């Protein structure tokens, strides 16, 4: 998985910077500031990426406080952008697209919830 390798490399580089800076604060917060949403990849990629990381880095990531449920990461929204645009067009709402995206992020804060919503609202295929 090229994406998992790329993400692991980005995390390793960020870890080195964090160590050089004197390990100020929690690593995951520093990582999120540098690469927003980097730890919000789908579980399959996340698992492979963790396997590629040094044990010290894995411990830092796994020891970080769990995120509160919040808005879904931009990277996850990008994965489903074509389905979201299709849903927006079929909804025929007067709400601007950026507000529509914000509503989706608030109502469906996890990838699984967003996926289920998009599947339930997908256009019906003729039989």
Using CA atoms, how far residue 89 sits from 8, 63, 79, 83, in Å, is 37, 42, 18, 10
Give the chain's domain count.
2
- Side-chain half-sphere CA neighbours of 18 within 13 A: 22
Is position 69 within any domain? no
The boundaries of the domain holding residue 98 are: 74-120
Are 10 and 56 within one domain? yes
Are 80 and 59 within one domain? no
pTM value surpassing 0.85:
no
pLDDT tens-digit readout, 5-24 = 888 898 899 999 999 988 88
Are 56 and 88 within one domain? no
Are 55 and 78 within one domain? no
Domain boundary (23, 40, 63) is at 63
pLDDT tens-digit readout, 98-125 = 888 888 887 887 888 888 888 998 887 7
pLDDT tens-digit readout, 38-68 = 777 666 667 777 788 888 888 888 777 655 4
User: Which of the 8 DSSP states describes residue 39?
Assistant: T
Is position 14 within any domain? yes
Provide the H-helix boundaries in 21-42: 27-34
């Amino acid at each position: 998985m090229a994406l998992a390798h790329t993400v692991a490399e980005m995390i390793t580089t960020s870890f080195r910077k964090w160590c050089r800076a004197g390990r100020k604060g929690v690593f995951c917060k520093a990582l999120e500031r540098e690469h927003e949403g980097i730890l919000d990849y789908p579980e399959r990629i996340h698992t492979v990426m963790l396997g590629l990381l040094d044990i010290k880095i894995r411990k830092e990531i796994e020891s970080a406080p769990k995120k509160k449920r919040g808005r879904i990461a931009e990277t996850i929204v990008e994965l489903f952008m074509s389905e979201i645009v299709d849903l927006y067009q079929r909804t025929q709402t007067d709400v601007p697209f950026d507000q529509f995206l914000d509503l989706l992020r608030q109502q469906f804060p996890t990838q699984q919830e967003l996926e289920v919503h998009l599947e339930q609202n997908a256009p019906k295929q003729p039989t």
